[in-house]
Amino acid sequence: MALPAVLPAGEAAMEKLPLVDSRDPKVWSTAESTVQPTPARTKIGDTSWLWHVQVDHLAGEPKYPIGWPRLAHSIPAGPRRDWSDWEFLHLWIYVDTPRDALPREPAGLGLHTPDRAGAFNRPLTELRKGEWVELKLPLTQIPRHHDVRQIQFHIAESNYRHGDIVDFYINDLALLRYATPTLLGVAAESAVMFADARQIPIMLQLAGVKPAQHAVVECELRRVGKVFARTGAHAPRGNFRVVLAPGSAALAPGDYEIKARIAGAPAITAKLRLVESPWK
């Protein structure tokens, strides 16, 4: 199933925890690059962090002249290392460079959870030259996010030409969560299924549900206004699987709709195609 990796901004109220709320560059450590706060280009608020990299294939660490310029923020011991009450890591990045375009992997994000050996790494392939790009990473994708000790950005100089200049403007680096239970996504685990399937697994993605609490979600399998299966689930935060059981009557092949809603909120839908079974 294809739940979106970067979720669209919803209308529901969000809560935010800035991760770097100082303007002192000393909160960052750098290698083969520089960082400074700047008002020159921002998306939210009045300051961004400008991470400036001049690619040098000859200098840097003696063993690896074509190296990994990087920018890191160490999170002090304490509650800010525990992200388990939050739902998304969020930031905006704008990239400026004299190059015509960015390479396929312009930069990477690394999170020490809790150390380098157990780091979460993600290439930031969505970055574009001259555009603000919003990253909203579900924390469900980040193992051990209850103990995050360092946030690091890096580039591989091997992805760039010697002498390239790349400026990354990093803005609004924060943790986010929905203030109230919100259904973010619904999808059939299989968008196409054999019509003789007796169970139809559905994936739900919920946010805004407090830890150890649940939201009641109603799911239906429908076609042309007729309901073929219905179930209610007490779903926790994150991804949750429920199974719709259409009963003993065979379903006709065709296009169906899966409808899910939290009580009082608008329903969201997904498509399901049932195909005549090879074993009918």
Partner 1 sequence: MCPTLWSRLRRPGYVTGCVLLLAVVATAAPLRFDFGTNDSQVWTGFTRATPANVWASDAAFGWRSAAGLSAKVRAYTAPVHDARRGSDQPPPMWTNPITEDAIVGTAENAFLLRAPPGEYQLYVVCGTSDPSMRSQFFDFTVQVGGEQQRVQIDGPYQFRTLRFRAKVGNEPLAVTFSPRSKWAVNAIVAWTGADAKEVETGIITPFEEWTFRLPPVEWAKWQLEAEPPTGPTPTPSAADQKRGFVVYGRHYLECVYPHSRPREEELNPELKLFASPGEHATTAVTVLPLVDIAGAKVAVSALGPVPAKEIDVRHVRFMRARPNYTTLYRYRWVPDVLERFEQLELKAGENGRFWITIRVPDDAPAGNYRGTVTFTCSTGTASIPVQLRILPIRLRDDPEKIFGIYYRHPYDQMGAAPDEVSKEYFRRKADREHADMVAHGTRNVVLSVSARPADATGKFSFNWELLAAKLELGKKHGFVAPVVLGVPTESIYEKHVGERPGSHLRGVKPPPPAFAAEVTAMVRAIEAERVRRGWPEFLYYPIDEPGTDAASISFMVTVLKACKAAGIRTYVTADPTREQFQPLRPHIDVWSTQPFAPEREVVLADSKARGVEYWCYPNHVNGENDHTPVAGARMTYGFGFWRSGFRTLIPWIYQSSTGNPFNYLDGASMDFFNRSEPDGTPVPVAMWEGYRAGYNDYRYVYTLEQLIAEAKRSGKPAAQEAAKAAEQELRNVWNAIRVQPKYKYDDLWSPEEFDVYRWLVARQILAIQSALGR
Tell me how many residues contact partner 1 (CB under 8 A): 29
Minimum CB distance to partner 1, residue 188 (Å): 9
Binding to partner 1 by CB under 8 A, coded x per residue (else -) over 132-161, reads --------------------------xxxx
Minimum CB distance to partner 1 smaller for 11 or for 279:
279
Minimum CB distance to partner 1, residue 219 (Å): 15
Minimum CB distance to partner 1, residue 53 (Å): 16
Minimum CB distance to partner 1, residue 176 (Å): 21
Look at residues 136, 135, 273, 270 and name the one whose alpha carbon lies nearest to residue 204: 270
Cα three-residue angle 39-41-44, rounded to 5 degrees? 85
Task: Work out which of 20, 133, 243, 268 binds partner 1, going by CB under 8 A.
Answer: 243
Examine residue 31 and tell whether it contacts partner 1 (CB under 8 A): no
Task: Work out which of 41, 57, 136, 146 binds partner 1, going by CB under 8 A.
Answer: 57
Identify which range of 80-88, 126-134, 188-196, 257-265 contacts partner 1 by CB under 8 A.
Answer: 188-196
Examine residue 104 and tell whether it contacts partner 1 (CB under 8 A): yes
Minimum CB distance to partner 1 smaller for 11 or for 100:
100
Site residues for partner 1 per CB under 8 A: 1-2, 5, 57, 65-66, 103-104, 117, 158-162, 189-194, 198-199, 201, 241, 243, 275-276, 278-279
